[in-house]
Structure 1
């Protein structure tokens, strides 16, 4: 007995691939930037001499992390929309299996 299987396939064009890879590379670079910032901030906090320095460093590190996360989310949303909207047209592929 033959079974008909239909599946949707999207073929990306040049800009579709470009935006997809920009999205992936942007997210990887933001991850590297955030982790390297945490390493640097952690080293500075460990070298702090007084409690006031430690408190100020902790507040600054928190503000810096929030700023990096904000830019990460904003960039990911924008590039994600471009990547999603440039996927290409839907092509329905029909296959018969036995």
Structure 2
């Protein structure tokens, strides 16, 4: 019996975790569960950006290395965006 490639299995696991995170955010009884659910949704979303761009037939090691590279690119874009906010805000004021 042939096993499915790792990337589709990771994507399925991420979707399950995303659903769990949303359920944790929707509950209104216990704030720490809400807080962890929100962090889970954010983390899984960022990880899904990287995993969603992997080749479907990538092996485990290649998938891991490419995921780390793509997460580094996403982090760099976020940091550059944060650093550009003051400059862009001044441009918007027309001074």
TM-score (norm 2): 0.39
Higher strand share: 1
Higher helix share: 2
TM-score (norm 1): 0.38
